[in-house]
């Protein structure tokens, strides 16, 4: 509608009002155009921005070309320069809209544009959807897969990796979806229908008078904008949008057929005088519309496939598969609910069908691999595991790759998993390198984990991600006892990203601390601070290194510096834990007290404070803070057990007239 409103703001779009109240109509159109343009801009829809510009430009451009005399007087005088003037006017309107949007709106619009230009925002999925859909078109070229069937069939054609239950309902291109669902026959029919509308439009437009062109061009701009948007969107699948589009096409067509000549170029049915039958028909149409509205309101709000309930019996599973035969979950449910007396080959066939329909879903393929193992076909089962892990490289999507299960995998199974994750890393799937490193680390193969992280860093161009990979690699090298390689990769990260203090901190903690090279550690801390690093974070790393090296003086001095530089909650908690490990419970209590002031809803901070106060023989304070921790997290059995034990020892000591013994202090993560 925006092109029609923009045309109405500049031109008299209703010829009957040319001399009567035409300025009122133009004012209404101008206000409507301004409101619509503001809403489109603040929607942050890049497609909306683009088609709005295309539609308005088409409407104004057609009117300026075929009805120059209808241009406003101040534009008519510019002649050929009216185009640049119009562009400048559009720029002024855009700047004004951005001003009204406020700082937050301008910031969001700027981020949206910069993300598009710099490709930081994921824009690859639409071309991938289109490319994958073309394979569906090639397989079903004549009749397509059936109207409305694209969402069910697409998982078979969707490229890996698995998107963790994210389901595509449309290919974000209605023309491509039309070709996929109806084939050549549907495309030809749609083309014939469009041509049958275009021909009378073209013939009528050739004979339109200048005063009718602004209204005609306003309709044309809206239709052109809608057709362009369908290239990368699916707006016309919303019924309200489709009805509006139909109204625009019908109004434009009638204008061309009635105003394109002295007599209509095409015969039109005249409107007969109303009769009782006319009113009866209108009433029936109204009732039918109300009935359709009622049915629409009763439709479930959850769409396919999330509206399909999981069957509880074999008969229900059969019914679900009849309704949704291309749904992988239907075949999995049928296999799971199959009677015990059924041949195992039938179970395998159903799981094999599930894998065919959705080859990226790890659950179906993992069940298929398990069935192959049970039937003695281990080589193919290992191949399916490798494929499953490659297509879904997240460990938590496989029931046999939980931290508790990984150590129990047999060597050939470990090899299959590692090969699948390695293939995912080579394919560039997100997080696959981290998952491979985590897999190796769970098996105690820290050097392999470090190599995986370093390899990922070598192929990543994002500075922050590259830094993260190198830090993780340094930590794994240190755990493997390879301090030279740990020092190398952490130094590389520090040089590459000097503004990030983390590589220096990790270098101090995992390399220099165990090597007891505190002189170099102090120098790195000073260098990091000079580069703009967080002093509290760097001094904390020095304190951890001093603690590791057994240098209490360095540890104490570094912790004093930490507390003097307004540390964060996490740093304060870590500093308190180091004080507690050193046996300095008084200072540990001070640090944890600061932490509780920073976050008064942290049960862990109050719990650690109570333990430190218990170690400092402040039993009344400890009892209070144990109770505070339990009040914040009443379901924490660890806190409850420690508090009960504290009360028991306190009561026993009070009866004996002695001080209760101080129990061991838990680890910093406890």
What span, in angstroms and rounded, lies between the C-alpha atoms of 526 and 511? 17
Kindly report the average pLDDT of the chain as a whole number.
85
Q: Is the pLDDT of residue 72 over 80?
A: no
pLDDT recorded at residue 663:
55
The structure tokens listed for 192 are 């014939």
- Please report which helix (H) or strand (E) contains residue 325, including its range: none
Report the greatest alpha carbon distance in the chain: 116
What span, in angstroms and rounded, lies between the C-alpha atoms of 405 and 385? 15
Residues 509-562 have pLDDT tens digits of: 888 888 888 888 888 888 888 877 788 888 888 888 888 888 888 888 888 888
Q: Answer for the pair 439, 458: CB distance below 8 angstroms, yes or no.
A: no
pLDDT tier, 150 (very low <50, low <70, confident <90, very high otherwise): very high
What span, in angstroms and rounded, lies between the C-alpha atoms of 629 and 608? 9
511 φ, ψ (degrees, to nearest 5): -115, -55
pLDDT tier, 197 (very low <50, low <70, confident <90, very high otherwise): very high
Q: Answer for the pair 590, 605: CB distance below 8 angstroms, yes or no.
A: no
What span, in angstroms and rounded, lies between the C-alpha atoms of 266 and 199? 11
pLDDT recorded at residue 166:
79
C-alpha 566 chain-centroid distance: 35
**Stated pTM of the model:** 0.73
Hey, how many other C-beta atoms are within 10 angstroms of the C-beta on 280?
10
Residue with tokens 């000073």: 526
Angle separating helix axes 213-229 and 2-10, nearest 10 degrees = 150
Hey, how many other C-beta atoms are within 10 angstroms of the C-beta on 404?
7
Lowest-pLDDT choice from 18-27, 53-62, 215-224: 18-27
Q: Is the pLDDT of residue 267 over 70?
A: no
The structure tokens listed for 263 are 């007599």
Candidate ranges 21-35, 90-104, 425-439, 646-660; pick with highest mean pLDDT = 425-439
What span, in angstroms and rounded, lies between the C-alpha atoms of 546 and 560? 13
Residues 6 or more apart whose CB falls under 8 angstroms from that of 497 comprise 463, 464, 466, 467, 503
Q: For the chain, first and last CA: distance in Å?
A: 62
Distances (CA, A) of 420 to 394, 424, 426, 550, 598: 11, 6, 10, 43, 45
Residue with tokens 């499953």: 388
Residue with tokens 């994002």: 462
Residue with tokens 């006319």: 278
The structure tokens listed for 478 are 């240190």
pLDDT tier, 651 (very low <50, low <70, confident <90, very high otherwise): confident
Distances (CA, A) of 137 to 98, 142, 157, 454, 593: 43, 9, 11, 41, 66
How buried is 519 (Cβ within 10 angstroms: 0-12 exposed, 13-18 middle, 19+ buried)? exposed
Q: Answer for the pair 362, 398: CB distance below 8 angstroms, yes or no.
A: yes
Query: Which one-letter DSSP state was computed for residue 158?
Result: P
């Amino acid at each position: 509608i925006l092109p029609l409103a923009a045309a109405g703001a500049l031109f008299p779009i209703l010829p009957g009002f040319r001399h009567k109240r035409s300025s009122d109509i133009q004012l209404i159109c101008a206000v409507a155009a301004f409101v619509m343009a503001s809403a489109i801009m603040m929607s942050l829809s890049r497609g909306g921005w683009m088609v709005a510009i295309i539609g308005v430009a088409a409407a104004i451009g057609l009117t300026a070309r075929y009805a120059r005399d209808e241009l406003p007087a101040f534009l008519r005088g510019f002649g050929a320069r009216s185009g640049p003037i119009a562009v400048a006017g559009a720029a002024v309107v855009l700047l004004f809209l951005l001003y009204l949007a406020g700082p937050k709106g301008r910031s969001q619009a700027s981020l949206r544009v910069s993300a598009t230009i710099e490709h930081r925002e994921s824009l690859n999925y639409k071309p991938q959807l289109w490319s994958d859909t073309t394979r569906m078109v090639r397989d079903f070229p004549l009749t397509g897969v059936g109207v409305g069937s694209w969402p069910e069939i697409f998982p078979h054609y969707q490229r890996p990796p698995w998107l963790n239950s994210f389901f595509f309902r449309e290919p974000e291109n209605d023309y491509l979806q039309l070709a996929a669902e109806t084939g050549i026959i549907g495309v030809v029919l749609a083309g014939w229908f469009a041509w049958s509308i275009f021909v009378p439009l073209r013939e009528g437009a050739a004979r339109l008078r200048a005063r009718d062109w602004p209204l005609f061009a306003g309709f044309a701009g809206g239709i052109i904008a809608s057709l362009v948007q369908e290239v990368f969107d699916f707006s016309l699948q919303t019924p309200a949008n489709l009805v509006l589009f139909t109204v625009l096409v019908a109004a434009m067509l009638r204008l061309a057929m009635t105003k394109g000549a002295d007599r209509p170029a095409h015969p039109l049915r005249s409107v007969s005088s109303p009769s009782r039958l006319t009113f009866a028909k209108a009433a029936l149409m109204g009732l039918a519309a109300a009935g359709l509205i009622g049915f629409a309101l009763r439709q479930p709000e959850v769409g396919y496939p999330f509206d399909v309930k999981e069957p509880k019996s074999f008969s229900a599973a059969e019914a679900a598969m009849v309704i949704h035969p291309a749904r992988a979950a239907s075949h999995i449910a049928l296999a799971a609910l199959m009677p015990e007396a059924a041949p195992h080959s039938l179970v395998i066939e159903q799981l094999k069908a599930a894998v065919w329909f959705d080859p990226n879903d790890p659950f179906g393929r993992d069940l298929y691999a398990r069935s192959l193992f049970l039937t003695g076909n281990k080589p193919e089962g290992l191949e399916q595991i490798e494929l499953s892990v490659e297509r879904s490289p997240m460990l938590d999507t496989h029931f046999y790759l939980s931290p508790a299960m990984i150590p129990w995998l047999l060597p050939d199974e470990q090899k299959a998993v590692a090969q699948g994750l390695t293939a995912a890393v080579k394919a560039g799937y997100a997080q696959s390198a981290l998952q491979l490193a985590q897999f190796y680390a769970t098996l105690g193969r820290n050097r392999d984990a470090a190599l995986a992280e370093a390899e990922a860093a070598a192929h990543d161009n994002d500075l922050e991600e590259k830094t993260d990979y190198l830090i993780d690699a340094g930590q794994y090298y240190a755990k493997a006892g390879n301090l030279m390689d740990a020092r190398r990769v952490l130094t590389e990260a520090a040089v590459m990203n000097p503004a990030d203090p983390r590589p220096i901190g990790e270098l101090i903690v995992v390399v220099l601390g165990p090597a007891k090279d505190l002189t170099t550690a102090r120098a790195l801390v000073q260098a990091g601070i000079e580069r703009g690093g967080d002093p509290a974070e760097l001094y904390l790393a020095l304190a951890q290194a001093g603690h590791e090296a057994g240098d209490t003086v360095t540890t104490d001095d570094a912790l004093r510096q930490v507390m003097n530089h307004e540390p964060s909650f996490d740093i304060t908690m870590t500093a308190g834990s180091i004080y507690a490990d050193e046996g300095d419970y008084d200072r540990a209590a001070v640090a944890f007290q600061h932490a509780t002031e920073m976050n008064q809803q942290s049960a862990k901070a109050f719990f650690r404070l109570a333990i430190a106060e218990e170690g400092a023989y402040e039993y009344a304070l400890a009892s209070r803070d144990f109770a505070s921790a339990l009040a914040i997290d009443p379901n924490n059995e660890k806190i409850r057990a420690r508090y009960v034990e504290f009360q028991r020892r306190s009561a026993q000591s009070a009866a004996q007239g002695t001080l209760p013994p101080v129990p061991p202090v838990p680890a910093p993560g406890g």
